[in-house]
Amino acid sequence: MMFSFQPIGHVHSPYKSAQEVPKGLGAKHDAEGILEILPQFELGLTDIEGFSHLIVLWLFDRLTEEDRQELIGTPPTDNRPHGVFATRSPRRPNPIGFTVVELLRRDGRSLHVRGVDMLDGTPLLDLKPYLSSIPQEKLRRGWLAEAEARASK
Ligand SMILES: C[S@@+](CC[C@H](N)C(=O)[O-])C[C@H]1O[C@@H](n2cnc3c(N)ncnc32)[C@H](O)[C@@H]1O
């Protein structure tokens, strides 16, 4: 089965190339950007202002077909390989990115946000309010917790 999606808008980001996006353990994602929604989807933004954080689903549009074949990779947060579905790597079969951003303000079709890690011009697929109901003590961080522990020694 194949699916097709249309962009609902684009990201205005300070990052023009992948090298500029902070990477590795402890990388901070506090860059501000704008999610610009296309006019035909503006009505869908009704009531979004009440949410402090948003889940942003977007397309890794600058990957090659070859990048999408990789099922094991070594992320910048570790020196050991992991399965793609246990990482946030852009190199994955379906090139869908997921970022939680803080909604700073809405200006018509433009959502001013903090926490972008996408490149400038990245197509947006969807927005949803971020509502986490998982208590901190129930969250397990897998290999990342081990990599952080090794790095802090
Ligand atoms: C580690 S991924 C994580 C992205 C997202 N937070 C996620 O979990 O799906 C972030 C990297 O994706 C790359 N990237 C950002 N926007 C991209 C785009 N439009 N196409 C391809 N790669 C992109 C950059 O190199 C950035 O460092």
- Cα–Cα distances in Å, from 8 out to 18, 44, 102, 125, 138? 23, 10, 19, 6, 34
Tokens 């501000």 sit at which residue?
Answer: 32
| 26 has pLDDT over 90 | no
Percent of the chain residues past pLDDT 90, beyond the cut: 90
The mean pLDDT of the chain is: 95
pLDDT in tens, 114-136: 999 999 999 999 999 999 889 99
Element holding 142 (H helix, E strand): helix 142-151
Average pLDDT over residues 100-122: 98
Ligand 1 pocket mutation, candidates 62, 74, 89, 118, criterion most atoms within 8 A of CB: 118
CA 96 to centroid of ligand 1, rounded, Å: 9
> Which amino acid would we find at residue 83?
G
**Which one-letter DSSP state was computed for residue 135?**
-
Question: Which pLDDT score is estimated for 101?
Answer: 98
Provide φ and ψ at 149, rounded to 5°. -65, -40
- Give this prediction's pTM: 0.94
Q: Domain ranges in the chain? A: 9-133+141-151
pLDDT in tens, 32-84: 999 999 999 999 999 999 999 999 999 999 999 898 898 999 999 999 999 99
Question: Which pLDDT score is estimated for 67?
Answer: 86
Q: How many CA atoms lie within 13 A of 93 on its CB side?
A: 6
CATH tag for 9-133+141-151 (out of 2.40.30.70, 3.30.1490.100, 3.40.50.920, 2.40.50.140): 2.40.30.70
**Which one-letter DSSP state was computed for residue 143?**
H
At residue 153 the predicted structure's pLDDT band, cuts being 50, 70 and 90, is confident
At residue 104 the predicted structure's pLDDT band, cuts being 50, 70 and 90, is very high
Q: Are 115 and 100 in contact (CB under 8 A)?
A: yes
Does the CB atom of residue 9 touch ligand 1 within 6 A? no
Q: How many CA atoms lie within 13 A of 40 on its CB side?
A: 3
Does the CB atom of residue 16 touch ligand 1 within 6 A? no
Question: Which pLDDT score is estimated for 90?
Answer: 95
